[in-house]
Amino acid sequence: MAKGRGCYQHDERRAKREYMSYEDVPLEEYRYNEPEPSNITGKFIKIFLILFLSVAAVIAVMNIDKLTPDNIAHWFQYDVLGKTDGDGYPISFTGSVVETGNFDLIKGVPVYCSDTTLAVLNNNAGKYQENQHSYASPVLSVNGGYGIIYNTDATGYTVFDRDNQIYSSSSTKKIYAADVAANGIYALLTRSDDYLSKLTAYRTDNLEKYEYAFADYYVNTVSLNNNGTRAVLSGMSARNGEMISVIYILDFRQSSYLQKYEFDDVYIYDVKYLDSGNAVAVGDKKACFINVDEGQKTDIDYSSRTLTTYNLKRDYGMLLSLSANPDGRDCNILTVKADGEQKDEIETRDKIISLDIYEEKPAALFADRITSYNFNGKPLGRVSVPLDSKKLCCCDKNAFYVLGKSRISRLETE
């Protein structure tokens, strides 16, 4: 009897045991679902959020000056949405010709102004912007994140940044030259009814900020400092039958010029206000460095050599290519830093077409290659270039954008 009762109880427990049926019950109901400890999951999420917010806070603090509405909008449109995806370099530019002076970098990416188009490209040859213009003789000038194009000996001009055209208008008189500051303030150098030329500076809201008229010289070049409070200009006149050139330093808070320097029998090609607060100028027979705060000018003589090309860099100073031969062969590179320091000349033994510099590594464009150097004259790298190359812009210590006859390339040294 005892044995029988035990068998009965065992069968009863077995009958009540649940078991899987592939026919009658969904498989999901029989999966083993032991709940995860909620405290572990919660702790992991908290740690992740703390680390994420900490990293975000560090990045925000390090880039607080860049967290503007425009930059945030740019990041979302162009980086997140991929608005400027391109097919890579080389790329043919829009228009028939781009002059060497109308090819530059704006915030590290190429900008060009052809005979028909203003365009800004990204690192993969996509377009931040591409806008048509009707200027017969366009000239481009860039400073930091802003640029200006103007119609030489006409009245039209356009101010822009990397992503958009900001303002287009026409002056009342024909434009000789124009420039823009790193904060968007800009200036036009124009003809005048009562004077030989006149400089007018404008605020970012396009209202007139300052003007200065020149009665003794035809002033034809201008460069603004970064905050748009000063300008360096050059012009020319005649005295006793001889050409004479002049350099002015203007302070927009003063009614008279701050400094003035004259040169006999020298034609000034270009001037530049440097980020350091000093200024440089390059001419056909000599160049000069101006310590603005001390009011001192230092002439840089070419020693009877021929200037073949030059580059005035706001963030560095001046680079000159000087040749002992009239045909431009056997060029030396002379560099002048933003504090006036002159480095030893670099011998290249070849004809230089274009110069640029990145992090104190001068680079020269030759007919068949780009070579970068240190200041001791040692070649650091080289890369072959298309035979129609006419200007280089350094975008990294080993990378260059190169303007050709009909296209733009991106090249890297070996």
pLDDT tops 80 at residue 3: no
* Core vs surface per residue 100-124: b (16+ CB within 10 A) or e: eebbbebeebbbbbbbebbbbbbbe
pLDDT tops 60 at residue 23: no
Number of other CB atoms surrounding residue 229 within 10 Å: 17
Section 351-367 average pLDDT: 96
Find all residues with CB under 8 Å of 229, minimum gap 6, and list them: 251, 252, 253
* Core vs surface per residue 197-224: b (16+ CB within 10 A) or e: bbbbbbebeeeebbebebeebebebbbb
pTM of the model: 0.81
ω into residue 90 within 30 of 0, thus cis? yes
Q: Could you give all domains of the chain from N- to C-terminal order, each with its CATH number?
A: 303-414 (2.120.10.30)
Above pLDDT 70, what percent of the chain?
83
Above pLDDT 90, what percent of the chain?
77
Residue 109 token pair:
């990416």
Looking at residue 122, its pLDDT comes to 96
> Quick one: DSSP state of residue 36?
P
The Cα 73–Cα 297 span in angstroms is 44
In degrees rounded to 5, what are phi and psi of residue 59?
Answer: -65, -40
Residue 213 token pair:
């008229």
Band the pLDDT of 280: cuts 50, 70, 90: very high
